[in-house]
Amino acid sequence: MNTYRPYIIGLGGTPRACSTTEKALTVSLRSAEAAGAQVELLGGSDLALPMYAPPPAERCPRAQRLVAALRKCDGVIIASPAYHGSVSGLMKNALDYAEDLHTNERVYLDGLAVGTIACAGGWQAAIQTLTHLRGIIHALRGWPTPFGAALNTSVSLFDAQGQCIDLSSKLQLETVGHQVVEFARMRQYAANSQLLQERS
């Protein structure tokens, strides 16, 4: 049994509390946690940050928390609503803060599995937004998971308690969570194997 517990962060939502996007992200994080990960949610209110400016601009406490989580994490799950066929300004601005990691030993999201979730009131915008998210992840040197969740919010997907009541959407979200954890474990195994080879 693999006892390694990767630290997975979830970024997403809207400034509105309990948004559909944040509910979707929570389902995916719960799936990652059930697979043995340590998880942390940075929802819409956590990502309401000043417009990104490169260092030496000062960082507010929320921005410091985001950058610290990105620096430490073993994987990321990103959830964005579709605004006019692309990621929301809130999410794009939050991801711009990854630029603060450009001088780190692990630059940006280099080598990390990144799960993607897009929520829209129709399939076209959901798929477009998912594609844009994956492009941003590539630019940040991350590894988009093979499966990304595209949710059509024009139908009811969650109950009043935030439970996903649509089986297809639930399976999509859980798959994203599982794949991020699985990849993080494979990466850790490869790193440990290389270390053992170097010592032998």
Are residues 180 and 76 in contact, defined by beta-carbon separation less than 8 angstroms? yes
What average pLDDT does the chain have?
94
CA distance 162 to 79: 15
pLDDT in tens, 8-50: 999 999 988 889 999 999 999 999 999 999 999 999 999 999 9
pLDDT at 174 > cutoff 90 = yes
- The full DSSP string for 101-161 is GTTSSS-TTTT-EEEEEEEESSHHHHHHHHHHHHHHHHHTT-EE-S--EEEETTS--B-TT
Number of domains into which the chain is organized? 1
> What integer pLDDT is reported at residue 16 of this predicted model?
87
- The residue ranking higher by pLDDT, 18 or 82, is 82
Q: Is residue 25 part of a domain?
A: yes
Q: Is residue 183 part of a domain?
A: yes
- Mean pLDDT check: name the lowest of 27-31, 71-75, 132-136, 191-195: 191-195
21: domain CATH number?
3.40.50.360
Q: Is residue 83 part of a domain?
A: yes
Q: Is residue 1 part of a domain?
A: no
CA distances from 158 to 110, 128, 161, 162 (A): 34, 23, 8, 5
Mean pLDDT of 106-129: 97
Q: Is residue 64 part of a domain?
A: yes
Q: Is residue 2 part of a domain?
A: no
Are residues 41 and 78 in contact, defined by beta-carbon separation less than 8 angstroms? no
How many Cβ atoms are within 10 Å of 137's Cβ, its own excluded? 24
Full residue range of the structural domain in which residue 121 is found: 7-199
Instruction: Select, from the ranges 101-105, 185-189, 195-199, the one with the highest average predicted confidence (pLDDT).
Output: 101-105
pLDDT at 1 > cutoff 60 = no
